[in-house]
């Protein structure tokens, strides 16, 4: 039978852990609300900007948007895995890393792959695996805002334009709800025409453009790409807090189940100890009575 002191120490340890997981769940819930509001507001803006870009660039073959649409033979690939800075969020980080490694080992096998990690977990993982890592932007989540994310997006865009990379891919968790995050392997560059989320009538919009269609496209395309990049980071941020909230809720429930078992074990051990003491007393009394 287990020692009473050891069982009591385990109970106290589990109670302390349960208090921590409850607190972490509440913190994650508060952060999730803010992150969810950001991504919900960003999605319509991103979709509308893409729709306008598609309308403006329709029939503009040969215009300046082709610099980001140029398709080449794929030799050099830049993959942007988006993870968190911290753990304790279930399989959130692991899923992104596994998806990235799967892409490297299958779709981009034999290619020159570079990694631009966003998030400390991705940076540490791929640095240990001796991949070429661009480590200048992984701290974006310390102060998440468009300006910081824009720098990473501009690096990827400039690398594609000057021929350093032939393809840029984003790997991140898309936020569905608190309990569901879907890993996306999304082509960032070269650009592909989006046909989804665009109203059928949108292609018939006749814009009055000043100073020119080419100038508008030249301004819209980089902005649209940076917004798309920022949206992926916001999706990942909301997914992180949702995953952590779910993980901490499950951990709290598991701690409760473990406490039930430990308290039952404690009571059994205590009863066994009391029974042994009674038997010893009875045996001693009988021995004295026999004398």
Closest to 170 in 3D by CA, of 95, 80, 67: 80
Q: How far is CA 25 from the centre of its chain?
A: 17
Helix, coil or strand: residue 44:
helix
147 is catalytic: no
| CA distance linking residue 248 with residue 255, whole number of Å | 10
Catalytic member of 28, 89, 99, 227: 89
* Strand 167-177 with 180-189, pairing: antiparallel
Interhelix angle 92-105/120-128, rounded to 10 degrees, is 40
Cβ neighbors of 122 (< 8 A, separation 6 or more) are 81, 82, 83, 93, 96, 97, 100, 115, 138
Catalytic residue IDs: 89
């Amino acid at each position: 039978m287990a020692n009473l002191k050891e069982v009591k120490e385990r109970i106290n340890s589990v109670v302390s852990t349960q208090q921590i997981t409850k607190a972490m769940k509440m913190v994650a819930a508060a952060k999730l609300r803010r992150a969810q509001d950001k991504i919900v507001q960003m999605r319509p803006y991103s979709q509308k900007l893409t729709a306008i870009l598609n309308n403006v660039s329709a029939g503009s073959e040969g215009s300046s948007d082709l610099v980001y649409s140029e398709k080449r033979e794929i030799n050099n690939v830049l993959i942007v895995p988006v993870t968190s800075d911290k753990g304790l969020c279930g399989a959130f980080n692991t899923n992104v890393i596994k998806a990235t490694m799967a892409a490297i080992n299958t779709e981009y096998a034999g290619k020159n792959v570079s990694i631009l990690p966003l998030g400390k977990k991705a940076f540490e993982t791929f640095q240990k695996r001796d991949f070429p890592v661009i480590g200048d932007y992984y701290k974006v989540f310390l102060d998440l805002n468009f300006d910081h994310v824009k720098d990473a997006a501009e690096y990827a865009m400039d690398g594609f334009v000057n021929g350093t990379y032939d393809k840029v891919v984003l790997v991140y968790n898309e936020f569905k709800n608190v309990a569901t995050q879907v890993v996306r392997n999304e082509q960032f560059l070269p650009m592909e025409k989006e046909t989804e989320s665009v109203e059928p009538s949108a292609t018939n919009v006749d814009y009055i453009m000043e100073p020119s269609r080419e100038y508008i496209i030249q301004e819209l395309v980089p902005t649209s790409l940076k917004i798309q990049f920022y949206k992926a980071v916001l999706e990942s941020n909301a997914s992180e807090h949702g995953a952590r909230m779910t993980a901490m809720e499950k951990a709290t429930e598991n701690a409760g189940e473990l406490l039930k078992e430990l308290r039952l074990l404690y009571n059994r051990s205590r009863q066994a100890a009391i029974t042994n003491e009674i038997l010893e007393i009875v045996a001693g009394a009988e021995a004295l009575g026999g004398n």
